[in-house]
Amino acid sequence: MEKIIIGRKETIDLPEWGIKAINAKVDTGAYNCSIHVSSVEEVEVDNKKTLEIILLAPGDKGYTGEKINISNYKVKKVKNSFGHIEKRFLIHTTLTLGNHNCQAAFTLSDRAKMKNAVLIGRKVLKGRFLVDVEKVNRTGQAKK
């Protein structure tokens, strides 16, 4: 399979969550993808642990404010950008990058102070994409 060249930042969709055309930074140092959550709470629904989340922040493109319930999740130990180990929830969804859909694992984190609310990690990139750090939004251009 020929790999697709993408830029250091790309516009992606997260269709299962109703998020379209959100900017994401490609981070080859991160294993999984990461997304900002305004709110995350473990609740019980029908005697089953469920995550109730609100993705992104009110100022972010793609923010809906809707509560999303996710029953299939894990708690994962992750080394943050400062080298500290922290526990984060890990969830899965479909990520659309250009004309390509793939399953992606996302850790939920507070990225309010970061420039990008979404990071694309190398697990999604492996075997599919090559990153050209001089380019931005290569798949978005191809999508038009």
The pTM of this model reads 0.89
Question: Hey, where are the domains in the chain?
Answer: 4-35+73-143
CA distance 132 to 122: 14
Architecture category of domain 4-35+73-143 in CATH: Beta Barrel (2.40)
Q: Are 131 and 86 in contact (CB under 8 A)?
A: no
Q: What percent of the chain has pLDDT over 70?
A: 97
pLDDT digits (tens, 9 = 90+) for 75-128: 998 877 778 888 999 999 999 998 899 999 999 998 988 889 999 999 999 999
**Residue type at 53?**
I
